[in-house]
Structure 1
């Protein structure tokens, strides 16, 4: 006859064995991630005239800024969900928002873009939306912001992309963001694994 005390003993030991396997799996994954870190000795791109304004270790996004006498440019970006290129060093695209403000004026010109990897060395970006906002207070409003970018004349689409490139949103910056955000996420994943291992090992 199985007593409650025996059941409790069996449950405790089953839990110990189960968590022991989990710790082993976590240690195996940690070892793999640390030994095969593709970003350890790989650098790509540069900030150019931008400065890193926000890059907290716990957050997924980064914010860059560039000030000049005639304007302020803010670039915020984070990795998109999913994977578009399984065998690439940089398999996920980056979602990038570019906001341009002229000193003394309220309107904001906002571009929503995707950065993608052409290969493990070069990147490029597409503009998904281009908005003209009356002020920063309109960011969450439902006011008309402009037509679908894909519906614009191809020459205008090309000209707007060239405008951003002239503002410093070129291949060096997109390379930096693509690589930096993948590297950042890899570090956060390793840190997450280490925390789980510590918790279950106790």
Structure 2
């Protein structure tokens, strides 16, 4: 017991020396001032509905269903940080777009990136028999396709609502999601440190 008391006293001194609670509170105020709209995010664009947005995950899933029964599902998350030529950095949205026609089990899948414009990395036609097998060959890379076919596939995505405003929405939403998670983590840490300080005082 005396040993635990000594450890607690040393921990209290370390927290006080570092002014950890003040540092955390300052960081929280800074984050709130830089991102005042974190708790007031706008909804999806177009006819897309937010289908998944757990506070514990990095991704979001949006869906759109047409009267015909056709479905478009988009799974998106922020990619790794990329250092640009001007030494600034950016993070693109990485997304998988799956389009399913009514009455069919096959899926048309696009793997895309978005920063200020869409970059289609791959386009796959996935037949029903291949849906459960990730090792099945899905076709050539998008960049190796005929340029006219690439343009037609990009136009097809635009016709499904995958356009610049949708990309901007996702970019904004995912950055806010990440900042909200960081802010929540800071608040939990603040409560833990404040609780430690008050327990030392008692």
- 1:73 is aligned to 72
- 1:120 is aligned to none
2:28 matched to 1:35? Answer: no
Corresponding pairs, count: 190
- 2:198 is aligned to none
- 2:14 is aligned to 18
- 1:172 is aligned to 165
Question: Residue 141 of structure 1: SS of its match in structure 2?
Answer: coil
Deviations 1:97-146 (A, max 9, x none): 10000111111000010010xxxxxx321111111111286255211101
Higher mean displacement: 11-20 or 183-192: 11-20
Question: Residue 92 of structure 1: SS of its match in structure 2?
Answer: strand
1:39-188 alignment to 2 at 5 Å?
39=37, 47-68=45-66, 69=68, 71-84=70-83, 91-116=90-115, 123-135=116-128, 138-188=131-181
Q: Structure 1 154/35 Cα, relative in aligned 2: closer, same or farther at 3 Å?
A: same
* Alpha-carbon separation, structure 2, partners of 1:171 and 1:188: 26
Unaligned ranges ≥5, structure 1: 117-122
* Alpha-carbon separation, structure 2, partners of 1:25 and 1:139: 50
Unaligned ranges ≥5, structure 2: 196-202
* Alpha-carbon separation, structure 2, partners of 1:150 and 1:104: 30
- The Cα of 1:155 is off from its aligned counterpart by 2.2
- Structure 1 length as normaliser, TM-score? 0.81
CA contact 2:99–2:108 (8 Å) conserved in 1: yes
- Structure 2 length as normaliser, TM-score? 0.81
Pairwise CA RMSD: 2.8
- The Cα of 1:13 is off from its aligned counterpart by 2.8
Deviations 1:23-44 (A, max 9, x none): 2322221121112216469978
* Alpha-carbon separation, structure 2, partners of 1:94 and 1:14: 45
